[in-house]
Amino acid sequence: MNDAESKPPGRRIWFPAKRHGWGWGPPCCWQGWVFFGLWLAALGGGVFFLLRAGHQSAVAFFVFDAVMIVLLIIVCLLKGEKPGWRRGGK
């Protein structure tokens, strides 16, 4: 698969597909970096809040982390290249 086949027409890609394996690589434009930075800040802030508020429950951490990961995957699906297995070839 070449680059022309993996990019949807008329859509700006924030997260390119990885060259090896399945998934997405680091952001390739400023919008992706802003989203990723805000996501990391929200993740860190949420964990800090859960610790400060006395919510030391493993369930609360699991639920919060799961929601954050699902959010990241949804944004990558919407704003990234189509995921699939790649072996680094041309």
pLDDT at 2: 47
Contact present, 21 and 89 (Cβ < 8 Å): no
State the Cα–Cα distance between residues 41 and 9, nearest whole angstrom. 32
pLDDT tens, 33-76?
999 999 999 999 988 888 776 666 777 888 899 999 999 999 99
Read off the pTM.
0.76
Query: Would you list the DSSP string of the chain?
Result: --HHHHSPTT---SBPBPSEESSB-S-SSHHHHHHHHHHHHHHHHHHHHHHHTT---HHHHHHHHHHHHHHHHHHHHHHBPPP--EES--
pLDDT at 76: 93
Q: How many CA atoms lie within 13 A of 8 on its CB side?
A: 14
pLDDT at 70: 97
The average pLDDT across 78-85 equals: 87
> Predicted confidence band at 30 (pLDDT cuts at 50, 70, 90)?
very high
